Amino acid sequence: MIKEKIYCGLDLGSQKIKASIMRISKDQLDLLGVSQINAQGILSSSVTDLRELCDCTHRILSGLSKKSGIKIKNVNLGLGGHLVDSRNSQTVIPLTDRGSKVITSFDIRKISRQTCLLGVNLDERLFHNFPTRYVVDGFNVATNPLGLYGRKLEVDSLLLVAKNNLVNNIYKSVNQAGFEISRIFFSSLSAAKIGLSSQQKKDGCLFVSIGTEVTDILFFKDYLLKAVRIIPWGGNHLTNAISKELGLPFDLSEDIKRSYASVSDCDQEVEQGEILVKKDSGYIPIQRGDVSKAICSSVHDFIKQFCNLLNQEKIIEHLSQGIVMSGGGSLLPGLLEQIEKKTKLQTQIGKVGVESRRLSNPAVYAAAIGLAQDNGKDSLNNIFSPNESGSVVKRFSNRVKEIYQEYF
């Protein structure tokens, strides 16, 4: 009998904290529940009040536990793009003083450790290290260098890091809330793992997650995460635009954005109609077209930044599978059509491959669901570590062969 396992994901955003709980068996994934609350105690890229963040964590996880009827002990923590820094790193190590040798998993682990030492600052914590390309002896480009002969090994890596003290403070708040953190992930990467198919990752695809403060952009090709870029634009920029243009409080502008905002060309006719909003002691009428006009400039500035980024990185020709959107901001009516029009790339909302009648907006909870499902080793790294999979006997046999090749 296959024992079922329970996993929980906690997605820490700047405005919302989302959580999901999932039952995983051999052939089945069952989403048991999702939840979200307003984030308190964390602002932008810092923890402002440990007690408030602890209380938020306790309320959302305890509530989810009560709703699902399952006790939660451990969580997979996801950090949003506003808390994460990405950088490219290049490392070279010699393999032998004279002649050449067979490259083993020991050599790959050695160059990986060297990458971490050279590419990560003392006040940072590394939580993702993705090799994007290996080069043997300066000319032989390899996806997987295991078993090749060489004297020198180079690797280009993509590193994702966060400030060490920030992570320590988040760990402390979760522990004080009565829970343990199993692993830490980049939230948008976890969302991409369930939002993209293997074919999309192979052929070339851009995964775009629009959050509250920033938009995370992930480029996949040949099953690998090749690049991560972050644009400082999110849903709050639209809310601020509505608040400024219409002279409304931020919270009221947020409600109007969610209910009535839509994207269109600035020179096109906007949607007609009137809405009544409560302000001070009475109600005032607002034209729906004024809401769309208020966000028009901000949206098109974002699309311009997005297109400039694609041109600078020179990746448009590698995006045969187009663009996949996620996050609450991607649900803004008309946004996908405008991005598709400007980039001339197929654009769609990412699908969450988990069946649940409780889930009305999968894009909103994609990261939290991906975190709950992210219970094993990073699948994007498995291609570089074939000897780490398989039976115990097979792994032992491979190690013996490597030791023989290393010394004889």
User: At residue 4, what are phi and psi to the nearest 5 degrees?
Assistant: -80, 145
pLDDT score, position 374 = 79
Laid out side by side, the sheet with 347-349 consists of 224-231, 215-221, 205-210, 323-326, 347-349
**36: number of Cβ within 10 Å:** 19
Is 337:361 a contact under the CB 8 Å cutoff? no
The arithmetic mean of pLDDT across residues 156-172, rounded, is 95
Spatial distance between the Cα atoms of 81 and 128, rounded to a whole number of angstroms: 13
3-state secondary structure of 387: helix
Is 85:127 a contact under the CB 8 Å cutoff? no
The arithmetic mean of pLDDT across residues 187-215, rounded, is 94
pLDDT score, position 74 = 94
pLDDT score, position 375 = 64
pLDDT score, position 376 = 47
Token readout for 347 is: 């654009």
pLDDT tens sequence across 75-84: 999 999 999 9
Least confident of 86-100, 132-146, 252-266: 252-266
User: Has residue 398 been placed in a domain?
Assistant: no
Residue 382, pLDDT > 50, answer no
**What percent of the chain is predicted at pLDDT more than 90?**
65
Q: Treating both helix axes as pointing N-terminal to C-terminal, what angle do 250-260 and 288-313 enclose, rounded to 10 degrees?
A: 80
Spatial distance between the Cα atoms of 313 and 307, rounded to a whole number of angstroms: 10
pLDDT score, position 254 = 92
Is 213:200 a contact under the CB 8 Å cutoff? no
Q: Are residues 337 and 265 in the same domain?
A: yes
Q: Are residues 211 and 338 in the same domain?
A: yes
User: Has residue 392 been placed in a domain?
Assistant: no
pLDDT band at 381 (very low <50, low <70, confident <90, very high): very low
User: Has residue 375 been placed in a domain?
Assistant: no
Residue 229, pLDDT > 80, answer yes
Residue 2, pLDDT > 60, answer no
Residue 383, pLDDT > 50, answer no
User: Has residue 74 been placed in a domain?
Assistant: no
Q: Are residues 202 and 252 in the same domain?
A: yes
Residue 121, pLDDT > 70, answer yes
The arithmetic mean of pLDDT across residues 331-353, rounded, is 91
Q: Are residues 283 and 345 in the same domain?
A: yes
Domains held by the chain: number: 2
Residue 314 is part of a domain; what is its CATH number?
3.30.420.40
3-state secondary structure of 230: strand
Q: Are residues 144 and 216 in the same domain?
A: no
Residue 197, pLDDT > 80, answer yes
For 273, the enclosing helix (H) or strand (E) is none
pLDDT band at 219 (very low <50, low <70, confident <90, very high): very high
List the domain range (segments joined by +) for residue 112. Answer: 85-164
Q: Are residues 106 and 245 in the same domain?
A: no
User: Has residue 287 been placed in a domain?
Assistant: yes
Is 187:79 a contact under the CB 8 Å cutoff? yes
Buried b (16+ CB within 10 A) or exposed e, 207-245: bbbbbbbbbbbbbbbeebbbbbbbbebbbbbbbbbbbeb
Q: Are residues 155 and 204 in the same domain?
A: no
Side-chain-facing half-sphere of 224: CA atoms under 13 Å: 18
User: Has residue 226 been placed in a domain?
Assistant: yes
User: At residue 189, what are phi and psi to the nearest 5 degrees?
Assistant: -70, -40
Residue 101 is part of a domain; what is its CATH number?
3.30.1490.110
Is 106:406 a contact under the CB 8 Å cutoff? yes
Laid out side by side, the sheet with 29-38 consists of 29-38, 16-24, 5-12, 74-79, 180-186
pLDDT tens sequence across 370-379: 999 876 444 4
The arithmetic mean of pLDDT across residues 294-302, rounded, is 94
Residue 391, pLDDT > 70, answer no
User: Has residue 308 been placed in a domain?
Assistant: yes
Mean residue pLDDT of the chain comes to 87
Residue entry with tokens 């060490």: 164
Is 77:60 a contact under the CB 8 Å cutoff? no
Q: Are residues 204 and 343 in the same domain?
A: yes
User: Has residue 27 been placed in a domain?
Assistant: no
Residue 267, pLDDT > 90, answer no
